Structure 1
Amino acid sequence: MTLAFKLYEQVNEAPDDRTRFRLIVDAIRELEEGWPRPGEIARGADVRESELRLQKEIEVVRKELEAVRKEIKDVELRLQKEIEVVRKEMKEVELKLQKEIA
């Protein structure tokens, strides 16, 4: 049952005005307790400030991610070059061993 309907029934069943006023005051107090406090409500400016701060943080993370991707790419290229050097050395050793066997 909604607060308004509950209050309506209570006011109609109340024996006197004093009780009715007390019921109304209690209902208002109950409503006020459910309302958010001024510090609990984000203002538009607060939301915008948070949005800007998050955008800056996202941009920083994007730049860091790009740097990591570049670093990974550099490491990958370096490893490919090292692999080629090792393959070349293996070929040379293989040829040398084939000559020794022959």
Structure 2
Amino acid sequence: MSASQAYDREAQNDVRLNDLASKLSTLRQVTNDIHNQASDSSLIQSSTEAFSNLTSSIKHSSQRLARSAGVTLPVYKTVFLILALVFFFYLVWRLV
């Protein structure tokens, strides 16, 4: 093997080594992107948990409100009567 052939093979090895280093850099970048996306999923999970807690809190609050208000038929009648009177006075006021 002559010296020029050895230099040619060394140059080919250098090109392949640079190509391999480029591929390795790309692989590292992809790995970092995957890690970042996996970290973002924890944010989604914490948001889901917070929303679930909020929903549960609203449900319990509405149940307590319904129990404490003791909503019965006379309350509905009173609310309907007040709304009817407001509507009636509004119509009279608009006609005058």
TM range (shorter): 0.5 to 0.7
- Report matched runs for 1:1-102 at 5 Å: 43-102=8-67
SS at match of 1:57: helix
Task: Give the structure with the larger helix fraction.
Answer: 2
TM-score by length of 1: 0.52
5+ residue gaps, structure 2: 1-7, 68-96
For residues 54 and 97 of structure 1, the distance between their equivalents in structure 2, rounded to whole angstroms, comes to 65
How many percent of aligned residue pairs carry the same amino acid? 7
Say what the alpha-carbon RMSD is for the aligned residues: 1.4
Secondary structure of the 1:99 match is helix
- Greater RCO structure (CA 8 Å; 6+ sep): 1
Give, as a single letter, the amino acid of the residue that structure 2 aligns with 1:95.
H
Size of the alignment, in residue pairs?
60
Give CA deviations for 1:3-59 in whole Å, capped at 9, x if unaligned. xxxxxxxxxxxxxxxxxxxxxxxxxxxxxxxxxxxxxxxx42332122111111111
